[in-house]
Chains A and B, each alone.
Chain A
Amino acid sequence: ETGVTQSPTHLIKTRGQQVTLRCSSQSGHNTVSWYQQALGQGPQFIFQYYREEENGRGNFPPRFSGLQFPNYSSELNVNALELDDSALYLCASSLGGLTETQYFGPGTRLLVL
């Protein structure tokens, strides 16, 4: 059984560019959540996907979008990058259901210049 993996580990972009971050769920998990963690802050919920459908969204603008694939891996896309988008982006997978534990990936650190 493999854990949650994320790629890339680090990324540098410039303002206005677009970025795609990737997440592979833990084996058997059908639910993926994405979080943004700014320096010195706790993770902030961006959205969740369950069986390829968006299943909840936090207070993030539409330029943050996502996808979940049939193998339950996931992408986070951010368009028109802003300086404030610089953060650690975490994904977490779970089996779904209200009592299931989330397992976090190591994160992708994005720097927007």
Chain B
Amino acid sequence: AQRVTQPEKLLSVFKGAPVELKCNYSYSGSPELFWYVQYSRQRLQLLLRHISRESIKGFTADLNKGETSFHLKKPFAQEEDSAMYYCALRASNTGNQFYFGTGTSLTVIP
């Protein structure tokens, strides 16, 4: 069965420190992974997707099929990074349905 796990509900880091938000997935096919972000009082929005292999707002995420992980990383956290982060998987074998993790609330301490 498809599943996305984000083990940390809450994560606090100091400004300028590295940050890593963990995401593990369970999927039998070839996965397509995403990170979505929700800033305070804003709507959910796409941060990045693994097929684009891009860096957005200094964040990167690498798909590791061996470890079934898609961790989100940023070398130097900024206060404006404080938000709720959701990892999501799109499963092509179930009508391109999206599966979201439970989210990690990141707080960057000034």
Q: How many residues of chain A are within 8 Å of chain B by beta carbon?
A: 25
Interface centre among A42, A43, A58 (most CB of B within 10 A): A42
Within 8 A of B (CB), among A55-113: 55-58, 90, 92, 98-99, 101-107
Q: Which one of B86, B97, B100 contacts A48 once the chains associate, using CB atoms below 8 Å?
A: B97
Q: Are B97 and A98 in contact (CB-based, < 8 A)?
A: no
Q: Which one of B9, B51, B99 contacts A99 once the chains associate, using CB atoms below 8 Å?
A: B51
Which residue from chain B places its CB closest to the CB of A57 in the assembled complex?
A: B95
Which residue from chain B places its CB closest to the CB of A6 in the assembled complex?
A: B43
Q: Looking at the assembled complex, report how far the CB atom of B70 sits from the nearest CB atom of chain A, in whole angstroms.
A: 14
Q: Which one of B44, B97, B102 contacts A58 once the chains associate, using CB atoms below 8 Å?
A: B97
Q: Are B92 and A98 in contact (CB-based, < 8 A)?
A: yes
- In the complex, which residues of chain B have a beta carbon less than 8 angstroms from the beta carbon of A107? 43
Q: Are A101 and B46 in contact (CB-based, < 8 A)?
A: yes
A43-B86, A104-B44, A105-B43 are known contacts. Are A55 and B92 too (CB-CB below 8 A)?
Answer: no
Q: Looking at the assembled complex, report how far the CB atom of A64 sits from the nearest CB atom of chain B, in whole angstroms.
A: 14
Q: How many residues of chain B are within 8 Å of chain A by beta carbon?
A: 23
Within 8 A of A (CB), among B19-70: 32, 43-46, 51
A44 within 8 A of B: yes
Q: Are B45 and A33 in contact (CB-based, < 8 A)?
A: no
A40-B102, A42-B102 are known contacts. Are A104 and B43 too (CB-CB below 8 A)?
Answer: yes
A-B contact pairs, 29 of them (CB 8 A): A4-B43, A33-B98, A35-B100, A41-B102, A41-B103, A42-B4, A42-B86, A42-B88, A42-B100, A42-B101, A43-B44, A43-B98, A44-B100, A45-B97, A48-B96, A56-B97, A57-B95, A57-B97, A58-B97, A90-B44, A98-B32, A98-B96, A99-B51, A101-B46, A102-B46, A103-B45, A104-B44, A105-B43, A106-B43
